[in-house]
Amino acid sequence: MFLRLNKWLAETWDTVQEIRFPYGNQYGWCVSHRKKKKLICDIFAENGAFTVMMRLPNQQFAGIYGQLSAYGREVVDNKYPCGEGGWIRYRVIEEEHLEEAVQLLTAKCE
C-alpha cells in the first residue's frame, strides 16, 4: 500500500519525492511529497502500516468531512491546529484507510 500511494502521488499529482528526517526522533524518517515547493504530505513507513501527515485548511476539512469514515472523522477531530486549519496524522493499516488517504490527498491537491 505504501508503494502504491507513493506511485499514485507521483503519477497523478506530479510530486517529487524526498527522503527526510524532518521532525526528530519522535517521528523518524519519511518520504516527503512536494509539488514545486509546496509540501503535499510526509509519509512515515513502519512494519505493516504507514502514516500520512498533511496540513489542510478548515474549509477543505469541512468539504470532505461528511464523506469520511468514523476513523477518518476522528483523525480530523483530533487534528493539531495550525492557523486556519491543522495537521492530521492518518495511519493506514488496511485498504479502506488507503482509499480514504487518497481522498484526503485529492482534496489537498485540487
24 domain-assigned = no
64 domain-assigned = yes
102 domain-assigned = yes
Q: Which residue has the cell 509540501?
A: 39
Per-residue confidence band for 26, with pLDDT thresholds at 50, 70 and 90: confident
Residue 25 has pLDDT above 90, yes or no: no
78 domain-assigned = yes
Q: Helix (H, G, I), strand (E, B), or coil: what is residue 29?
A: coil
Tell me: the pLDDT tens digits for 2-24? Answer: 999 999 999 999 999 999 999 88
Q: Helix (H, G, I), strand (E, B), or coil: what is residue 106?
A: helix
* CA-based nearest residue to 1, from 96, 89, 74: 96
What pTM was estimated for this model as a whole?
0.93
Tell me: the pLDDT tens digits for 50-93? Answer: 999 999 999 999 999 999 999 999 999 999 999 999 999 999 99
34 domain-assigned = no
- 82 is in which domain, residue-wise? 49-110
Would you state the pLDDT for residue 97?
97
16 domain-assigned = no
Tell me: the pLDDT tens digits for 38-47? Answer: 999 999 999 9
100 domain-assigned = yes
CA distance 38 to 109: 10
110 domain-assigned = yes
Would you state the pLDDT for residue 31?
97
Structural domains of the chain, count:
1
* Residue 57 vs residues 40, 48, 63, 70: alpha-carbon distances, Å: 13, 30, 10, 20
Q: Helix (H, G, I), strand (E, B), or coil: what is residue 68?
A: coil
